[in-house]
Structure 1
Amino acid sequence: MQIGSVTTPFGRRPMTLALVKRQIEASEIKPGKTADKWKVFRDASEARELLGLQDRSLAVLDALLSFYPDNELRQDAQLIVFPSNAQLTLRAHGIAGATLRRHLALLVEAGLIVRKDSANGKRYARKDKAGEIDSAFGFDLSPLLMRVDELAMMAQQVVADRFALRRAKENLTICRRDVRKLISAAIEEGASGNWESIEAIYTGLVGRIPRSPTLSDVNSILDEMELLQQEIINILEMHQKDENVSTNGDHHEQHIQNSNTESCCEFEPSSRNEQGAKAVNDGRPKREPVRNFPLGMVMRACPEISMYGPGGTIDSWRAMMIAAVVARSMLGVSPSAYQEACDVMGPENAATAIACILERAGHINAPGGYLRDLTRKAARGEFSLGPVLMALLRVHGQGERAVG
């Protein structure tokens, strides 16, 4: 393969250290390395967004590869192609001259090709007496060979992300449909509960779905939609239990609905199905593990806690727990009360409880006693953080994004 020295661009095009680096790297390709040029092209096409390329850029790259005579890029071959702009325009489906130059520059910037300019900027090749190319000036395809493994990995990641996004969208569609129909059924059949508030939360979640959502966008909304769905099911289960109790007590007495099941508005009990049914063994209740909620959701519901994190931000559960310890001290919650909450709820949920108390600090007279009360309810399987988070999300308009 013809290497030559590092060359600078012709004319007014500037030289950069990145170009120097790419030319040096292109000269250090492992001896004997080969790759199918069209396989490399497909990988680059798949990874075009990561590379910052457009469809026209790929059309120009396809045209450049068509001027390389073999299907296999080889380390020991001459990898410089030297078509004129007119030839490139023809093979790139009639692309305009200015557009061609712009996308050639994008390919260089993306590190897929390197310019090897002659003294006058023309593209050509010199041949020796045997008719073999001795030196050539044009576009060096060596970076494609050098980055073949990297491009393959990038393409695989894009495919995996696309699949994950498709699955997440499907799950969100199903969950959204279920929530909508459950709310409608509950309202039409007169089930007890604050369905007006729940429907407002649902509408807010749907309104946050972007026109072109990313995977993180979909997962964030899906987490909250699944939480809302679970809370609706809990309310309906409690409603059904109330009906069963009323029916068993007196078949002729009209059922009186419980009007205090607005589980999305206050720090309220959960159904025992959510925390685990209470079973007695040796006098001690057994609890299933308490569900941890997504950190992003917690931060959107409780943005005040972020100022207590390291550097004034929270980007992990570890930072969240550090912030909770600081906030605990500020709220006057004793270490023993917080430790008990950690033992019963788990450290993540205990930190979340502190964040929720901090968010409503102006309405709570004794945060320490309040946390102990929540801990006792959680130990009996009578408390869930889900309604608390949903209420705070509603207060913050469902759309405010905090750190996390």
Structure 2
Amino acid sequence: MQTVSNGIGDVRRLADAQWAAAKLADTYQGLPEGISKAMLLDRFERAAPRLGLGDGVVRLVRALVRVTAEQDWIGRTRPIAWPSNDALCEELQRSRSCIQGLIRSAVRAGLVHMKDSGNGKRWGYRDDRGHILEAFGFDLAPLAVRWDEFADLAAARGLEQAQRRHLKRKLGEIRREIRTVCADALHRGYGGFDWHGAVDQALGRLPRTPSLGELEALHETFQALLAAVDAAWVRARQEGQHEPRGVVSEAQKEPTTQPRSEGSTYPSLRQEVVEPSARSALSPSPAEPSRVEAPLSDEVIPLSLVLEAVPEVADYLDDLAGASWEDLVDAVARVAPLMGINLSAMREARDVMGRNRAAVALATVLARWKDGEIRSSAGGYLRAMCEREKVGCLNLLPSLYGLKDRFGKTPPRRSER
């Protein structure tokens, strides 16, 4: 136990935490330049969970800081508040005994220092300019001295909350991908894996307020499940347990958690243009499962034409000058969710058109979506393109040349139309 003077010769016994608050109050020199009491209160409230402070203590400190004036925090005088217990009871809607308990908790936490008058009453008065001349009550100087501590704790909590939001978003994406792959496998009649069990696990309820460690553990668990689902999908496809219905040959499913194989896309990715191939291509031999790809149309589409006709896709490419077909495929895959296109529509486009041709179709959809031509459903527009591709009526070259000319020509007059 220690003792400290209250300024008029009286002394009172303080616990260790109260003595530390008194020592902090003695080092008070005002808030740092440019910091207001509102900023101090904001940082304190954000750091309170890390300090283990309850809502009652936070509300008490908020009520005390609000009754102070801005000039009380510049260092000329101590920031002292002198509301009575009855006023605090009315402000916080708590009983008198509860208010007294909150005051003791705030003092023990080193947030306030009690500066008592001779008769134990709280009072004070100011001059004509609003500066405190004399006051007794709650000395809030420890709050100002601990500004750096509150700011660091608030920043750490903000970083943790950002990580939590990122992990929650990634968990949602992974669980949706698991359900999509399992639904596709069940539709095709694939066996050799508990698809229903994986779907049930992906649909399970997560903890209501999980900690950061729990979210990281859940993320690892669902990532492992997605890898197992992807591997089972590819294994079932390669083993040819059931031939897919409704199409002669379809694109090779690639696991989302594994690197792309060298032959999983068109051989023309290492060239400048998409090579034409017959629409009635025969099914690939089992010896080369990685060469499986949807039949192409007879169109020859240069990559340079796509990048020139749809400059909007450049915002999603790391290196426009050295971009390849693989970069275009990755870019449109990232931009598709922004247009409201779900995974099933993208998967259908890749199965019907092939990866590269589907990327070109998505690029044209992006251009029209940016120009405002597509206002309702970009996913429905892409599915309509897939239907036209199935009957051989989809021509992408005229669309690309038309999109290219939109920057070099003015809109035609009504008479010309």
Aligned match of 2:222: 225
Q: Is the contact between residue 89 and residue 97 of structure 1 (CA under 8 Å) also seen in structure 2?
A: yes
Q: Quickly say closer, same or farther: Cα 1:125–1:170, change in 2 above 3 A.
A: same
- Name the residue aligned to 2:163: 164
Match among 205, 208, 213 for residue 211 of structure 1 = 208
Q: Are residues 1:100 and 2:99 paired?
A: yes
- Does residue 38 in structure 1 map to residue 38 in structure 2? yes
Q: CA offsets, 1:298-340, max 9 Å, x none?
A: xxxxxxxxxxxxxxxxxxxxxxxxxxxxxxxxxxxxxxxxxxx
Matched AA of 1:41:
L
Give me the whole-angstrom Cα distance separating, in 1, the residues matched to 2:143 and 2:74: 11
Preserved contact between residue 113 and residue 139 of structure 2 (Cα < 8 Å): yes
Report the Cα distance in structure 2 between the residues aligned to 1:94 and 1:245, rounded to whole angstroms. 69
Larger radius of gyration: 2
Change (3 A) 1:29 1:36: same
How many residues of Structure 1 are paired with residues of Structure 2 in the alignment?
246
Residue of structure 1 equivalent to 2:66: 66
Structure 1 equivalent of residue 240 of structure 2: 243
Superposition TM-score, scaled by structure 1 size: 0.51
Mapped to 2, the partners of 1:141 and 1:118 lie a distance apart of 16
Work out whether residues 178 and 226 of structure 2, in 8 Å CA contact, stay in contact via their aligned partners in 1: yes
Larger CA deviation: 46-55 vs 205-214:
205-214
Measured in 2, the distance between the counterparts of 1:203 and 1:246 equals 26
Asked whether the 8 Å contact 2:106–2:112 carries over to 1, the reply is yes
The worse-fitting range, judged by mean Cα deviation, of 134-143 and 223-232 is 134-143
Aligned to 1:47, the other structure's residue is in SS state helix
Query: In structure 2, the residue corresponding to 1:138 is in which secondary structure?
Result: strand
TM-score (norm 2): 0.50
Indicate if the aligned counterparts of 1:183 and 1:195 stay in contact, CA closer than 8 A. Answer: no
State the match for 1:53 in structure 2: 53
- Tell me if structure 2 keeps the 8 A contact 1:36–1:72: no
Show CA shifts across 1:151-203 (max 9, x none): 1222222222222212211111121122123223323322132216xx54664
The separation in 2 between residues aligned to 1:85 and 1:37, in whole angstroms, is 23
Q: What amino acid maps onto 1:226 in structure 2?
A: Q
CA deviation after TM superposition for structure 1 residue 146, in Å: 0.2
Matched, 1:29 2:28: yes
Taking CA–CA contacts closer than 8 Å with sequence separation of 6 or more, which of the two structures ends up with the larger relative contact order?
A: 1
Q: What residue in structure 1 maps to residue 115 of structure 2?
A: 116
> Equivalent residues in 2 for 1:9-24 (5 A)?
15-24=14-23
Matching residue of 1:366: none
| Contact 2:113/2:138, CA 8 A, preserved across alignment | yes
Superposed CA offset, 1:114-151 (max 9, x none)? 222345432234899xx986653311110111011221
Answer whether contact 2:72 2:131 (CA < 8 A) is retained: no
Range moving further from structure 2, 231-240 or 50-59: 50-59
Aligned partner letter, 1:241: Q
Contact 2:112–2:142, Cα closer than 8 Å, also in 1: yes
Quick one: which amino acid aligns to residue 87 of structure 1?
A
Cα root mean square deviation, aligned = 4.0
1:2-401 alignment, distance < 5 Å: 5=4, 15-30=14-29, 33=32, 35-70=35-70, 73-90=73-90, 92=91, 94-125=93-124, 136-195=135-194, 199-200=196-197, 203=200, 209-243=206-240, 274=258
Contact 2:68 / 2:81 at 8 angstroms: preserved in 1? yes
1:225 CA drift (Å): 0.4
Distance of 2:84 and 2:200 partners within structure 1: 58
Q: Report if aligned partners of 1:209, 1:217 keep a CA contact under 8 Å in 2.
A: no
Supply the AA of the counterpart residue of 1:212: T
SS of residue paired to 2:189:
coil
Contact conserved, 2:125 with 2:135, CA < 8 A, in 1? yes
Distance 1:22 1:93, change over 3 A: closer
Letter in 2 for 1:224: T
The 1-side partners of 2:262 and 2:51 are apart by: 55
CA–CA distance in structure 2, aligned partners of residues 148 and 21 of structure 1: 16
Residues 69 and 126 of structure 1, relative CA distance in 2, 3 Å threshold: closer
What is the rounded CA distance, in whole Å, between the counterparts of 2:140 and 2:176 in structure 1?
51
| Deviation of the 1:84 alpha carbon | 1.3
Distance 2:232 2:115 in 1: 70
Identity among equivalent pairs (%) = 24
Any idea what the Cα deviations from partners look like across 1:198-252, whole Å, max 9, x if unmatched? Answer: x5466457658322111221121111101211221122122222339999xxx9x
For residue 115 of structure 1, give the secondary structure of its aligned residue in structure 2: strand
Q: Which runs of 5+ in 2 are unaligned?
A: 249-254, 264-417
Shift of 1:112: 1.9
Looking at structure 1, the residues matched to 199 and 14 of structure 2 have their Cα atoms a distance apart, in angstroms, of 55
2:120 aligns to what SS in structure 1?
Answer: coil
Distance in 1 (alpha carbons) for counterparts of 2:43 and 2:32:
17
